[in-house]
Homo-oligomer: A and B are copies of this chain.
């Protein structure tokens, strides 16, 4: 990663907006993407390539992705639920596609309406289809392991199950494994156990982390994953997102607080905190009925704060 130590990735336009009922105007989605890219965020999941009839919020997926792809230096990613979504992603030329499968059977059935083995077979076809493209047109494919730290239907999820599906992803040929605490059940001890198992299993494939802050442990889990060697974290500006089964609960890890913690630890993210905080205004003017989270936005930076990149 060269001049940065940790990659922070904005997923609010997908994981955050998917629960927002009112359509977030396309122009403001683009303003959000552009402002965060200008603040130094280098990878943004800009949309979800689910069928628009299932998710009207993403009816503008093609336009958002195309215009995001025009931003220099930005890695544009999109969520894909299946091969059909992947084909839309191939056509758009997104840089990376994030495939999702839940480690827990019930959650996968509820979320993508199929058995995990069917998800894996679909991922295999997606990777094969990607490999058949001309080299310059091949996007990266990340395999997301949802509910890896707990499931709202099944409760605790065995580490062995996470390990097994990480191994399956590696065998299929994903370029990255994303371990996700979809419902915010994780704690730092569990994070260590799960990430150690996954890292040992997948070898040199990069492993990223996607935490939710549903029960307050989001940043503690980030710190634990950092200790394990993880260097890529998903987050959402103002902690947008949440859980359809826990109204009012906090959502994804707050991007602004995440960047502050990492930067304070001396880990360069490439992100300018003041510029990042200013992007919240785009959310404020569009999400009047949605609670925005974030401790840094309320408290401000510490006195005489020196960003990691400016330290001796």
A151 to B249, CA, bound (A): 32
A251 to B112, CA, bound (A): 40
- Residues of A in contact, count (CB < 8 Å): 46
Instruction: Chain B residues near A156: list those with CB within 8 A.
Output: 302, 304
Query: A257 touching B215 by the CB < 8 A rule?
Result: yes
Copies in the complex: 2
- Which of A152, A257, A265, A300 has the most chain B CB within a 10 Å cutoff? A265
Contacting residue for A220 out of B154, B184, B220, B302, CB 8 A: B220
A154 to B184, CA, bound (A): 36
The proximity string for A residues 238-271 relative to B, scoring 1 for CB distances below 8 Å and 0 otherwise, is 0000010010111000100100110011100000
Instruction: Chain B residues near A215: list those with CB within 8 A.
Output: 257, 260-261, 295-296, 299, 302
The proximity string for A residues 182-196 relative to B, scoring 1 for CB distances below 8 Å and 0 otherwise, is 011101111000000
Q: State the 6 A-B residue pairs at the shortest beta-carbon distance, nearest first.
A: A155-B304, A216-B257, A216-B295, A187-B264, A249-B299, A189-B265
Residues of A within 8 A of B (CB): 150-156, 183-185, 187-190, 213-217, 219-220, 222-224, 243, 246, 248-250, 254, 257, 260-261, 264-266, 294-296, 298-300, 302-305
